[in-house]
Amino acid sequence: MISALLAFVASPSGPDGLGAPSLLLDQGKLLSVTEGHADLAMYDLDGDGAKDMIVGQFKDGLVRFYKNHAEKGSPKFEGFEYLKAAGAEIKIDAG
């Protein structure tokens, strides 16, 4: 199963501060995890002022980091790497 990620982009146009949902792209293709459920958070992890995306995937409990390469406006992602601590991939057990 492949799960495509959908995000609600912050926008002043909606009464709740959210714009219409939009599909996230990575290198021009739908951004997806290979199997199972996923959850995402947007946060400037690398301190460059652009909100990056962190995606936790249920299968294997791995955490993906997508660097945001956009200077302004819509995010631009160009692949991901698994987050690591002390040289090992971070894994979060389910349950």
Quick one: pLDDT at residue 81?
93
Structure tokens at 50: 């652009």
pLDDT 10s digits, 35-44:
667 788 888 9
Name the more confident of 85 and 25.
Answer: 85
- Region 5-27: what's the mean pLDDT? 61
Summarised one tens digit per residue, pLDDT across range 51-82 is 899 988 877 888 999 999 988 777 888 999 99
CB 89 within 8 A of CB 82: yes
- Alpha carbon distance 90, 5 (integer Å): 21
pLDDT score recorded for residue 68: 92
Q: What is the pLDDT of residue 95?
A: 65
Using a 10 angstrom Cβ sphere, with 0-12 exposed, 13-18 middle and 19 or more buried, the burial of residue 45 is middle
